[in-house]
């Protein structure tokens, strides 16, 4: 063991040397999608930073959060769901794998310095988010849809019905009425059942939250949510309910799994 350390200390202690980074970053790929810049960043950045970069670029476009100030950089969007008489917004049993991958991605607390690690995949006709949450910094894991190319109007309905299953923890759904993620968004918690069944969340019960704080009724930015304008939906496990002043009492750090089969608008 001592001889191995003496011969190659960097390798023995798992340290990535500049030479190793360069070799990994410039290694040719056989696919036509090769991107040496991405390869370089993946090689030299720690995994949480790599995940954060990829998440921000998925939702905001090349450049991540800086994409907003790049005039020629259009934010990626997806076609808004065509909600017909049955009220279906997302039915994952009817979705192809490539369609799912183009619309949804994990969005974890690594974007704000956290260490939670989760991913979302299409599995057996369900959107399955699984991973590990940690209490450091954000303390959340989630998956989100890219912004719709036009706002979805569900004001003729009373709320959303989620057909889901998981670990019995308290999750939340977040509705955005703007393409600015730093603007007010609307949060509503729900207890995730162990077995697959419907859980309903009423539009009138959603709480306005901005930058991790519940918006007070006295605040000029306070407004209620009626489903009139939905630009994106996000599904999250978080140590907070409605802002950082409200702890989620049915949350625990560690491994988790959340399965979502269907999202539809409902009428009472």
pLDDT more than 70, % of the chain: 78
Residue 68: pLDDT band with limits 50, 70, 90 = low
Least confident residue range of 15-19, 98-102, 127-131: 15-19
**Strand blocks (E) in the chain:** 88-91, 104-106, 117-123, 126-133, 140-145, 159-165, 170-176, 185-191, 197-202, 207-210, 213-214, 232-238, 254-266
**Strand blocks (E) in 124-230:** 126-133, 140-145, 159-165, 170-176, 185-191, 197-202, 207-210, 213-214
Residue 89: pLDDT band with limits 50, 70, 90 = very high
Q: What is the pLDDT of residue 157?
A: 98
> What is the pTM assigned to this prediction?
0.81
- Output 36 or 215, whichever has higher pLDDT: 215
215-251 pLDDT, tens digit per residue, is 999 999 999 999 999 999 999 999 999 988 899 999 9
Domains, in order of start, for the chain: 76-266 (2.60.120.430)
83 token code pair: 């909600």
Q: What is the pLDDT of residue 31?
A: 42
> Three-state DSSP class for 233?
strand
Q: What is the pLDDT of residue 85?
A: 85
pLDDT more than 90, % of the chain: 64
Nearest 5°: the CA angle 225, 227, 229 is 100
150-188 pLDDT, tens digit per residue, is 999 999 999 999 999 999 999 999 999 999 888 999 999
């Amino acid at each position: 063991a001592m001889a191995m350390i003496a011969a190659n200390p960097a390798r023995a202690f798992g340290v990535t040397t500049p030479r190793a980074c360069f070799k990994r970053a410039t290694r040719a790929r056989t696919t036509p999608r090769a991107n040496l810049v991405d390869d370089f960043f993946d090689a030299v950045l720690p995994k949480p930073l790599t995940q954060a970069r990829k998440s921000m670029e998925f939702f905001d476009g090349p450049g991540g959060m800086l994409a907003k100030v790049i005039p020629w950089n259009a934010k990626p969007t997806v076609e808004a769901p065509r909600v017909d008489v049955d009220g279906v917004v997302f039915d994952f049993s009817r979705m192809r794998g490539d369609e799912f991958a183009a619309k949804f991605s994990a969005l974890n607390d690594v974007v704000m310095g956290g260490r939670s690690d989760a991913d979302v995949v299409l599995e057996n006709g369900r959107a399955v988010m699984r991973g590990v949450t940690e209490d450091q910094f954000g303390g959340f894991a989630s998956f989100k849809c890219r912004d719709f190319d036009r706002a979805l109007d569900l004001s003729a309905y009373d709320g959303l019905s989620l057909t889901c299953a998981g670990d019995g923890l308290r999750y939340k759904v977040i509705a955005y009425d703007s393409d600015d993620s730093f603007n007010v968004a609307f949060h509503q918690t729900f207890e995730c059942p162990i077995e697959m069944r419907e859980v309903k969340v009423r539009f009138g019960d959603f709480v306005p939250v901005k930058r991790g704080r519940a918006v007070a009724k006295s605040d000029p930015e306070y407004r209620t949510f009626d489903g009139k304008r939905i630009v994106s939906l996000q599904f999250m496990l978080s140590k907070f309910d409605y802002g950082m002043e409200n702890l989620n009492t049915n949350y625990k750090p560690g491994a988790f799994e959340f399965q979502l089969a269907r999202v539809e608008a409902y009428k009472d």
